Structure 1
């Protein structure tokens, strides 16, 4: 617990006060986030203004106007540091988990290196504990969030693109689009949600989106919000919906790419037949966005993680690959987390060469550890374990490296190659490879 972080407002000394936000902070927080987070100060990203206001509006499906932390000067009221936490539900192979997503983490340059972000993370981590969050996840710059107990351990992004000249096939003069595309409507949302949920089953980790979230995505955000998406429906020539897809409202790479960030089709619909028209639409939308920025759209593509059916269909047209980055993840109680996913672990074990295992798997983390106990392939307990020496375990992982294995981001062999102090004996290797295989994730986090 963090009693000092929960008891807000908190005097931080040096004339600074840490408190919760209110709806009345919208103007100042929006201006602060535009100033701090714009990539180029000479070209302010006004979409950050809209995103901040959306989060503070009271209309957001998971965030209240009190879910920002604010550090301000007591005398002037000037905001000098802030962040927020966005509650949501993700699934681990179908098992729901409460997740907190810290975002918009920033400090005025004049006030950096004073521990202000650390104190705010103590607050949002305490909020997460009170909410029953199993984990927190955040996107961010390299290394930074490791300071607060996070590990880059979950797949984020990944994109395949191609140049217009080679990716987009023109229709002949007498041809019409075989699969017309239109904006999504509210009456489409239940059907879209079902396609999204079915597509999520191919991934280890995905985000749950309920009707309120889909409504907010469709028409609840400000039009230029930094995390907004435009939803579209793909129909056949009879007007029957066969799929949906999303494009971001924020231009990608300066408007040079027309990009799709979600796409799913009905069972039986042909990816090969739908893909050419989808590429033509991405080009059209990309060129429209680029023209508004007085730039040129030169590529189209899909940002769908590392694995998706359309990548296989369009392999030749989309030869430019942008490797996946990573979410920072934090699991405050690893034993509780593992207990919550026992059904998944048992199913994986049953389908592996280690099926029916009896015994223990001791995992050491050098300062502490845990042990999983098995009877006939069933996990009977997950408990704390204190190694008596560094070698008194079946496998060992430094720092937070085990989280990469837990979330399917890296294989055990990859971790052993990258970290000399990551190792496993033969029984440990067999079990870990069965319990924690590498598997792609596509997390469209709530923002």
Structure 2
């Protein structure tokens, strides 16, 4: 880096400087967040990077391993967190270098998507887009009434399996969800800035949620309940933490808790949109993971594309698939085989269209391309679908054409599928 600055993995000796930087540029609680991450056996110091000027830490960022679930498909994901730069070093591209480190590390760890919350609009500079709504916060108008004392208590490590099961049940109602990792559950229980609670019934956990420390007001988030009675008991117990104070809840629309609290929450509209940032580094790789979901939805919609390409285009790139008809005795159509638009069509497990630098745009690990083999480099010609089949001019190429570009290989396709 310029001016003698060095970007490197964080070390235990950096922890006090990183904590002070995070507290100054962010929130005091960020210091504890960072300490929990780097001292955790599942994350550790490799999850954090710093930029140093000599012995001075002047910028930092952390990458967490997460899992994003889309319609039942589990996708490895990365989450960039705890980004901060010393005021004296702003405007020198340090965050850009740290984001490059985070994305390189994310790719090396097999993540196919990144998610984060950050400075409004700023992270669009690094390929992020607003994509997933953040649930709104609503004030509690009336607290559910009951005669007995609320069966609310602080969660213990032994409660994690039951809480995770409740959260999975709650998130199963949504197409897109990010469940807590095992490490995250440990961090939440150890954190001083929030408390995780459970409601018990007949010796079992039937509701859970996380609150800010009770003061003049308390915020209840991540509520999950087995049934509406458990959800009302959770809200009643949290309200008892701050008698006479204001209670607010993060409303997860469509959940058991939201239904149970419907009559208890004040009306209100957001004054501005709030969404999670999402970055997709390789659209084709993500679509390949989602291929079964997309095909099931095509079949459920009654769209029969048997034997024909289905091209999902982002304009700069396209990801073609080829459908195959299922047996007459089968109610659902089979997932489409990968189609190499240069070589022909065949099913090849582990194949990823548009990522091979050779002829087939396929990724097969160490075995190389099914069409070209591991070492050959065939001659390529390009034709742009926007210009019929003419040879593309210098200004129209696979990386610059805004329509679907097809690269055809000079080699003949293999005799049998691989």
Same fold (TM over 0.5): yes
Residue aligning to 1:301 = 249
Match of 1:69 among 23, 26, 49: 49
C-alpha contact 1:157 1:324 (8 A) present in aligned 2: no
- Pairing of 1:191-270 with structure 2 (within 5 A): 191-209=162-180, 211=182, 213-218=184-189, 221-224=190-193, 229-236=194-201, 239-241=202-204, 243-249=206-212, 257-266=217-226, 269=227
State how 1:373-412 maps to structure 2 within 5 Å.
373-376=322-325, 377=333, 378-381=335-338, 383-384=353-354, 388=384
- 8 Å contact from structure 1 (residues 235, 242) kept in 2: yes
Correspondence for 1:185: 156
Within-5 A mapping of 1:72-91: 72-74=52-54, 77-91=55-69
Q: Which has the higher helix share?
A: 1
Q: Describe the SS at the equivalent of 2:292.
A: helix
The match for 2:143 is 168
Question: Structure 2: how far apart are the matches of 1:350 and 1:161?
Answer: 43
Question: In structure 2, how many angstroms separate the alpha carbons of the residues matched to 1:110 and 1:210?
Answer: 36
Q: 1:93 to 1:184 in 2, by over 3 A?
A: same
TM-score normalised by structure 1 residue count: 0.68
1:343-358 superposed matches below 5 A: 343-354=292-303, 358=307
| SS across alignment from 2:68 | strand
**Deviation of 1:169 (Å):** 4.0
Q: How many residues align?
A: 341
The reply on whether 1:13 has 2:2 as its aligned counterpart is yes
* 1:249-328 → structure 2 map (5 Å cutoff): 249=212, 257-266=217-226, 269=227, 271=228, 273-285=229-241, 287=242, 297-304=245-252, 306-318=253-265, 319-322=267-270, 325-328=274-277
Is this contact kept in 1: 2:48–2:62, CA < 8 A? yes
Aligned partner of 1:23 in structure 2 is: 12
CA-based RMSD of the aligned residues comes to 3.0
Once the two structures are TM-superposed, the CA of residue 297 in structure 1 deviates from its matched residue by 3.4
Q: Which runs of 5+ in 2 are unaligned?
A: 326-332, 340-352, 355-360, 362-381, 389-401, 403-418
Q: Does structure 2 retain, via aligned residues, the 8 Å contact 1:257–1:300?
A: yes
Deviation at 1:112, TM superposition (A): 1.8
If the length of structure 2 is used for normalisation, what is the TM-score? 0.72
2:291 is matched with which residue: 332, 342, 354?
342
Partner of 2:364: none
Equivalent residue number for residue 434 of structure 1: none
Q: In structure 2, do the counterparts of structure 1 residues 210 and 276 end up closer, same or farther at CA, with 3 Å as the change threshold?
A: closer
Deviations 1:49-90 (A, max 9, x none): 211222222x2x53211322211212xx22221111111223
- The structure that has the greater radius of gyration is 2
Q: Which has the higher contact order (CA 8 A, sep 6+)?
A: 1
Q: d(CA) in 1 for partners of 2:304 and 2:180?
A: 34
Give per-residue Cα distances to partners, 1:265-290, cap 9 Å, x unaligned.
33xx4x0x3344333222233x27xx
Q: Of residues 70, 79, 87 in structure 2, which corresponds to 1:101?
A: 79
2:67 and 2:76 in contact (8 A); partners too: yes
